[in-house]
Amino acid sequence: MRDRLTVAAVFGGVRQRAWSVLIVTAFLVLGAAGAAGPMFAEASDNAAFQLRRDEIPASARQNDAAVVRVSADVGPRSADQQPVMDDLRTVPGLGEPDLTGQSVGAELASPQYWGFTVSAGGKHERGRFFTVQDPAAELVAQGPTGQDGLWLPAPVAAELGVRTGDKISLSLRQGARGTPRNATSTVSGVYAVDAGGRLPADVPGSRKWSLRRGDTPPDTEYETLPAYLLVGDLPTVERLAQSIDDPLFWSVEAALTPGTTLADARRTAAEVELLRRRYAQAQPMVDGEGPLALRFATGISRIVATAQTTTEAVRQRTRPVEWAAITIGLASVLAVALLSARRRERELRHAAAVGMSPVRVGGLWLLEHLLPAVAGAALGWLVAWQLVVRLGPPGAVTESLVPAARSGGAAVLAGLAAVAAVAMLAAYQRVRPAPPATARRALPWGSMVVIIALVAAGGLIGAGGPAGGVDLLVPLLVLAAVGVVAGWLPSRLAGRQGRLPRSPARAVLWLARRRLGSGGAERRLTVVVVTAGLGMLLFALSAVQSTEISADDRVAVAAGAEGVGVLEGSWQLDEAAPLVPKQDPLNPPSFDPVAGVRVPPLPPGNTVVWRTDVRTLLDDDQKDLLVIDPARFAEVALWGRGADLAEARAAVAALAAEPVDAIGRPRVITVADPASDDVDTIRMEVGFGDQYFEVAARVRAFPGQRGRPMYVAAADPTLGKLAFDDPRLRPRNQFSNSVFPQVFLWSSGGADGVQAVVAPHEDVQPERIDTAAALRQGSDYVATSRARGYQLAIAGYLALLAILTLCIYAQRTAALRRPADLMLARIGLGRRRVGRARAVEFVLLASISFAASVAGVLALAPLGARLLDDQPGLLPRLLFTLSPTALVVTACAAVLATLLAVLVARDRSSSEEAAYRDE
């Protein structure tokens, strides 16, 4: 008997048709929630690491790049470097090492004279040896190539008038009276040079020569410039260098392999650091700055550390959400178990009547749910993997697949334990004798949910700092409380129903309303779950859009434009900028604008912005004065997508149309300055005098704001009043303008746009260039984005749970009402009208839940900033708003739930006897 029950229990979980699908789905959600965490973490880590690798600028050196370069004095010949190459081959994650060598004779001979020239046809040019393993693969050839010779840079070849195949002479002289040592070679090829005109240009897809910048031999006459390199393969250069006694210093280079994950890079960095320490201890005691001193260059550790800063911030934001997802998955399994206990009430009574113990019942239920749990765990792992790969962070998912399977399996085992516990408790309640005169009271769970939600919301409002993991449950609690209130509506809508109307058409609505009000606790619970699920979907979608808008606005405020370069003065970009007029000490200074002064004319998409510190008589705080060209500023600055910056853009347009007031005073836009809210004219100390400004507009945020109150004025009327201190004038000495010591070049083209503007002007180099792209990839913004994506996935789980709940309710009520439906159909209402009444009931139920979810999210709107803003100190403030797209998606989910409920509740009984049979 027991063996037959055990065998039946093993396969019983997959023989219950729709209910088996429901069980598998519940475990699928739980397994996916448990498995998604490790996968999401790895994908996020690898995406952050790859992003940091991609952010390495073209001007970076090997200390900042994902390469390793070891220059060690282990021997004078190339064959002596084999142990170094073998050491780098043992480091995991590094590609095949390359051996290079360069002339070091000048550095060893210093301070003696040392000169090396290459000559042909009576013409001479300075150069230095440099050897690589395969010159043809590392150089950009100009014209035909040959074998067994030296590659010359294009400027040297043009100066000497040689081409491939021509003979060249090499001469080295050490000391002012030294005897030249000569050798001859053949031109093996002519290679292109980079923008600097000296070093080799990189082959497309390679950055080897760019990374070597600063590590190649310097010019022997102009030591601040790199030397022209005479490049050849290892045997050729080594033979020529020995013939003229030019020592070579060897280096071994290896790059991190493409597609390396953060975990692999972390191991690579650790091995590289161990190798560095070993070489540092093994090298002989030489001058640390000498030409043969150990040089160990790598940026892998730095890139890994930078990526880990981002990943730690992401993990801090997503870990509470991961636990919330697992909790929701467990809740869904527990809900299915409780519904199973209610559905199988008669079976539990029979088990108790025949003497089965609660432990035995729990064990049988565990076996019954084992196969669905295994299937759900496997499908959940697959779903989590595909969701993370297709919709998650753009990083590789490789090493976390097995840990994710273990994590998902552990969550499913917890769900199985919960099912067994529910079965044991249900059986125990049937076994124990009930007290003879005990009145059973219903638990007021609805009122408890409402009270808990109110307390949680009040505590969230009163708490300080960013929202924590527990605070993220407040939206769910509030939506559940709104669902409790909405659960009482169907009985109110039903009202008092009289007799069945004689008209069959009116009878459909009568029957739907009657049944809508007679659902009892199950109907109220269904409304609560569906409201919470749809509401969380609506809240999560709206939260994603609100945080995206807030991030765009904050990047716009912090960055100002896609690229901002810092210059000494705007006159550097204006060749026609007039000089500062000479001041006559016998005459008082003039305060009129200097003739010819202007805003520098720049290409479209660029503008100059001046900034200085000012004070007013309104308070003692120091504030910013931003001086702009309103006509060009609007097209260059970043304006985000929020309402605050939209007001700022409108204010700039008004300032461009009317930069001065009726009496010629400059107009100004006040930004986040409460001290000037009640005044229309501001007296401001600008430079060495005061100016009066008329308030043109008041806004809460502005591009380029630095976290304190700011004023924005037009350039021509504001700077013109400074006369000789106008920062647009070209200074007569090396001292910068005392009022505006720095100016800023804003460009809509990012860093490349800034460089394109300054490139035509000689001797103009920005002190630094800040970009909006770098801000967007900051750890805080990335962490917020990733956490919102995870929360969106949880909201999808809850929406799925809501759909399943409505389907379960439909299936259960349809089964209970099937005899009544058959009787109504036989007395003249008809089976189609009974079906229509059932469909109308579910439509009304879903409509009530959808309306309640919208009302609940609107009630959460005041708490949106408190829940979603991870950086509440930044401007502009986060504003939570309902997204139209979110409303449409949520409405579609409600429609889908209704259609599935109607489909599940259809009467498929083949006979009247089957319809009357009690399940």
What is the tens place of the pLDDT at every residue in 803-822? 878 887 887 777 776 766 66
> Quick one: pLDDT at residue 918?
47
On whether both 255 and 329 belong to a single domain, the answer is no
Kindly give the interhelix angle for 2-12 and 370-391, rounded to the nearest 10 degrees.
20
Determine the pLDDT at residue 265. 92
Q: Which amino acid is at 589?
A: P
Close Cβ partners of 199 (under 8 Å, ≥ 6 residues apart): 193, 209, 212, 213, 216, 226, 229
pLDDT at site 659: 94
Q: Buried b vs exposed e over 757-793: b needs ≥16 C-beta within 10 Å?
A: bbeeeeebebeebbbbeebebbbbbbbbbbbbbbbbb
Estimate to the nearest angstrom the gap between the alpha carbon of 696 and the chain centroid.
38
CB 849 within 8 A of CB 874: no
Q: Which of 725, 747, 766 is the last residue of a domain?
A: 766
Domain end among 308, 334, 362: 308
Q: Is 422 exposed, middle or buried (0-12, 13-18, 19+ CB in 10 A)?
A: buried
Taking each continuous run of H as one helix and of E as one strand, the counts in the chain are: 28, 20
- Do 67 and 56 fall into the same domain? no
Are 144 and 116 found together in one domain? Answer: yes
User: What pairs with residue 308 in β-bridges?
Assistant: none
Lowest-confidence region among 1-15, 85-99, 320-334, 346-360: 1-15
| pLDDT value of residue 919 | 43
Secondary structure element (H or E) that encloses residue 470, with its range:
none
pLDDT band for position 913 (cuts 50, 70, 90): very low
491 and 415 in one domain?
no
> Which two tokens mark 833?
């009208």
Q: Is the pTM of this model over 0.85?
A: no
Using left for φ > 0, alpha for ψ between -120 and 50, and beta otherwise, residue 840 falls in alpha
Confidence at 854, pLDDT banded by 50, 70, 90:
very high
pLDDT tier for residue 498 given thresholds of 50, 70 and 90: low
Residue 437 is assigned to a structural domain of this protein:
no
**In-domain check, residue 564:** no
Q: Report CA dihedral (802, 804, 807, 813) to the nearest 10 degrees.
A: -80
Cis, peptide link before residue 589, omega less than 30° from 0:
no
Higher pLDDT, 813 or 28: 28
Which residues have a Cβ under 8 Å from the Cβ of 570 and sit 6 or more positions away? 577, 599, 600, 608, 610, 727, 728, 743
Query: pLDDT at position 489, please?
Result: 76
Q: Are residues 370 and 470 in the same domain?
A: no
Taking residues 326-342, what's their average pLDDT?
83
Task: Please indicate whether residue 787 or residue 499 has the higher confidence score (pLDDT).
Answer: 787
Closest among 332, 794, 329 to 536, alpha carbons compared: 794
Q: What strands, in cross-sheet order, belong to the sheet with 128-131?
A: 123-126, 114-120, 167-174, 181-191, 150-153, 229-232, 128-131, 98-103, 248-255, 67-71, 295-298
Whether 182 is in a domain gets the answer yes
**Average pLDDT of the residues in 567-590:** 79
Rounded average pLDDT over 889-911:
80
Q: Which residue from 257, 279, 281 is spatially nearest to 267, judged by alpha carbons?
A: 257
Residue 433 has pLDDT above 60, yes or no: no
Q: Does residue 907 share a domain with residue 835?
A: yes
Residue 557, pLDDT score: 94
Domain presence at residue 594:
yes
- Torsion of the alpha carbons at 384, 386, 387 and 390, rounded to the nearest 10: 160
The rounded radius of gyration (Å) of the Cα atoms in the chain is 39
Give the C-alpha separation, 811 to 851, whole Å: 23
The pLDDT value recorded for residue 595 is: 83
Query: Is residue 739 within 8 Å of 569, Cβ to Cβ?
Result: no
Of 886, 785, 884, nearest in space to 535 by CA: 886
Residue 545 token pair: 């859009």
**What is the pLDDT, as a whole number, of residue 501?**
59
Residues 608-634 have a mean pLDDT of 92
What is the C-alpha to C-alpha distance for residues 167 and 125, in angstroms, rounded to an integer? Answer: 15
pLDDT surpassing 90 at residue 892: yes
Task: Kindly state whether residue 442 falls inside one of the protein's structural domains.
Answer: no
- Copy the structure tokens of residue 112: 């003696």
Decide if 299 is inside a domain.
yes
- Please tell me whether residues 803 and 657 are part of one structural domain: no
Task: Categorize the per-residue pLDDT at 236 as very low, low, confident or very high, splitting at 50, 70 and 90.
Answer: very high
> Does residue 123 have a pLDDT over 50?
yes
Distance separating alpha carbons of residues 721 and 725, to the nearest angstrom: 9
Domain co-membership, 533 together with 636: no
pLDDT tier for residue 92 given thresholds of 50, 70 and 90 = very high
Using the 8-state DSSP alphabet, how is residue 574 labeled?
Answer: -
Convert the pLDDT of each residue in 637-670 to its tens digit: 999 999 999 999 999 999 999 999 988 899 999 9
- Domain closes at, from 308, 329, 344: 308
Q: Is pLDDT above 60 for 438?
A: no
Instruction: Go through 244-270 and write b for each residue having 16 or more CB atoms within 10 A of its CB, e for each that does not.
Output: bebbbbbbbbbbbeeebbbbbbbbbbe
Q: Are 393 and 43 in contact (CB under 8 A)?
A: yes
Higher pLDDT, 862 or 9: 862
604 and 751 co-located in one domain: yes
The phi, psi pair for 75, rounded to 5°, reads 160, 155
Q: What is the dihedral of CA 531, 537, 542, 544, to 10 degrees?
A: 150
776 and 760 in a common domain: no
- Total length of the chain: 919
Q: Give the range of the structural domain holding residue 892, as residue numbers without chain letter.
A: 457-558+772-919
Q: Residue 451: inside a domain, yes or no?
A: no
pLDDT of residue 118: 94
| 841 — pLDDT class (breaks 50, 70, 90) | confident
d(CA 101, CA 75): 12
Question: Range with the lowest mean pLDDT among 58-72, 311-325, 326-340, 574-588?
Answer: 574-588
Average pLDDT score over the chain: 84
- For 856-878, the pLDDT digits (tens) are 999 999 888 888 887 777 888 88
CA distance 469 to 456: 13
Q: How far is CA 548 from the centre of its chain?
A: 11
pLDDT confidence band for 357 (50 / 70 / 90): confident
Question: For residues 687 and 613, is the Cβ–Cβ distance under 8 A?
Answer: no
Among the listed ranges 10-24, 81-95, 845-859, which one has the minimum average pLDDT value?
Answer: 10-24
Q: What is the pLDDT of residues 459-478, one digit of tens each?
A: 766 666 555 555 667 888 89
**pLDDT average, residue stretch 279-304:** 78
Give me 393's structure tokens.
């962070």
Alpha-carbon span 761 to 574, nearest angstrom: 9
For residue 599, being part of any structural domain is answered with yes
The backbone torsions φ and ψ at residue 607, rounded to the nearest 5 degrees and listed phi first, read -155, 160
Tracing tokens 């999210």 back to the chain, one arrives at 857
d(CA 656, CA 633): 9
* Mean pLDDT to the nearest integer, 408-430: 89
The predicted pLDDT at position 213 comes to 85
Angle, CA of 628, 634 and 635, to the nearest 5°: 120
pLDDT tens per residue, range 506-529? 666 666 666 666 666 777 888 888
**Residue 760 exposure: Cα atoms within 13 Å on the Cβ side:** 8
Residue 201: is its pLDDT beyond 80?
yes
Are 43 and 162 within one domain? no
Q: How confident is the model at residue 915 (pLDDT cuts 50, 70, 90)?
A: very low
Same-domain check for residues 352 and 481: no
| Cβ atoms 193, 265 nearer than 8 A | no
User: Which pLDDT value is given to residue 512?
Assistant: 67
Rounded-to-integer distance, Cα 395 and Cα 629, Å = 43
Q: Give the total number of structural domains in the chain.
A: 4
The confidence score (pLDDT) of residue 809 equals 81
